[in-house]
Amino acid sequence: MSERIIPVVDQRSSLILPAPAKLQAGTTLKDQLQRPLHDLRISVTDRCNFRCSYCMPKEVFHKDYPYLPHSDLLTFEEITRTAKVFVALGVRKIRLTGGEPLLRKNIEVLIAQLAALRTPDGQALDITLTTNGSLLARKAQALKDAGLQRITVSLDGLDDSIFRQMNDVDFPVNEVLAGIEAAQAAGLSHIKVNMVVKRGTNDHEILPMARHFQGSGVTLRFIEYMDVGATNGWRMDEVLPSAQVISRIQAALPLVPLAAAAAGETAQRWGYANAKGQYDPQLGEVGVISSVTQAFCRDCNRARLSTEGQLYLCLFASQGYDLRSLIRSHLSDEEMVAQVAAIWQGRSDRYSELRSSLPPDASQTPARPRVEMSYIGG
């Protein structure tokens, strides 16, 4: 059997920092494409207890994979200080992710620290977390008590054998469903479930998932399988376009389009319709995230902080900016703000928009291999 050779990018090299920006009070920070900075995604661990083949395929992420040593991780205090800098520059929403964020010990302590931050006009931040749900039944109440308001659970199907195959560690679907129920019981609101759709693998689970979550208070969102990282062997023919997801649901459960809830929202929303063909809030809604077939780079207001404090300006970036060195070099908060502002001002990333103009094999053999999603945070 021939062995698959997979390039794993050196995730530790970083970009040269630009000169710090001179910020004018009262102006909104914008990048080269006039996009503001609004969301910060923070990866709190590069480890995971699942091996979803589209994210951390087993043959790459095996027991000898060089995960980051603990001393390389940002501490909770360093994460909170970095978040504070981003809040000063416009960030209003923070998503904790990974790897599997609930594997990070005492994650609720970090949530409490972030929940205590305030915007310049005294508002609390919108704090959420994305999890595979495996530890959620145990942790939901502690997360809520620490100040988490919302949560997103990834779930790729209801059929137990399909789910076990997708997570590739034989994890049963019932435990994730119990986690979602525990999150509801703990009072976490706006619970979302994300399903990555891979044509030919779990696309027959679309309708059962839609039926299961209709009217449950949980918003189901379908994500197009993306060419992130360099290890998942992505192929365009395994992407099921969101338009087909919607038409498959609509054939059984009528849907009507809904307006975007917020600027820069990644999901297109569809509401379940009643017998009169009108949106019925009791039945709820579904969303589709069409990262491949309908790029939304023009509205992308997200920055990503890796587990070891590298700042990435795009999910498909090859290199980041080493903020950890800045924090550990005792820069003042004002100096950090000026430095991060200059980085954002120089941003021109729009990979998904450019993808369609790239040669067909460019996704899996990019000029510079991309960092993995488990490292940079989804």
Q: Under the rule (CB under 6 A), what is the footprint of ligand SF4?
A: 48, 50-52, 55-56, 98-100, 132, 154, 296-297, 300, 314-316, 349-352, 374
Asked if 223 is part of the footprint of ligand SAM (rule: CB under 6 A), the reply reads yes
194 binds, among ligand SAM, ligand SF4, none (CB under 5 to 8 A by kind): ligand SAM
- Find the part of the chain contacting ligand SAM (CB under 6 A) among 10-18, 94-102, 306-314, 358-366: 94-102
Q: Tell me how far, at minimum, the Cβ of 19 lies from ligand SAM, in Å.
A: 33
Residue 222 CB, shortest distance to ligand SF4, in Å, is 15
Q: Which does 228 bind (CB under 5 to 8 A by kind): ligand SAM, ligand SF4, none?
A: ligand SAM
| DSSP state letters, 174-231 | HHHHHHHHHHHHHT-EEEEEEEEEBTTTTGGGHHHHHHHHTTSSPEEEEEE----SSS
Q: Which is nearer to ligand SF4, 35 or 324 (CB)?
A: 35
Task: Using CB atoms within 10 Å of the CB of residue 299, give its burial: 0 to 12 exposed, 13 to 18 middle, 19+ buried.
Answer: middle
Question: What single-letter amino acid sits at 277?
Answer: G
Binding mask 26-65 for ligand SAM (x = CB under 6 A): ----------------------x-----xx----------
CA atoms of 273 and 361, how far apart (whole Å): 41
**By CB under 6 A, how many residues form the interface with ligand SAM?**
20
Residue number, 35 or 304, with CB nearest to ligand SAM: 304
The kind and range of the H/E element at 150 are strand 150-154
Query: Cβ closer to ligand SF4: 52 or 240?
Result: 52
Residue 133 falls in which region: left (phi positive, over 0), alpha (psi -120 to 50) or beta: left
Over the window 169 to 208, marking each residue x when it contacts ligand SAM by CB under 6 A and - when it does not, the resulting string is: -------------------------x-x------------
Q: Name the one residue in this structure whose structure tokens are 């992420």.
A: 61
Rg (CA), the chain: 20
DSSP 89: T
CA distance 270 to 257: 4
How far is 19 from 26, CA to CA, in rounded Å?
21
Contact of residue 201 among ligand SAM, ligand SF4, none (CB under 5-8 Å per partner type): none
Output the residue with the shortest Cβ distance to ligand SAM.
Answer: 378
Sorted by sequence, the CB contacts under 8 Å of residue 333 that are 6+ apart come out as 81, 84, 85, 88
* Positions in the binding site for ligand SAM (CB under 6 A): 48, 54-55, 97-98, 100, 130-132, 154, 194, 196, 223, 225-226, 228, 232, 373-374, 378
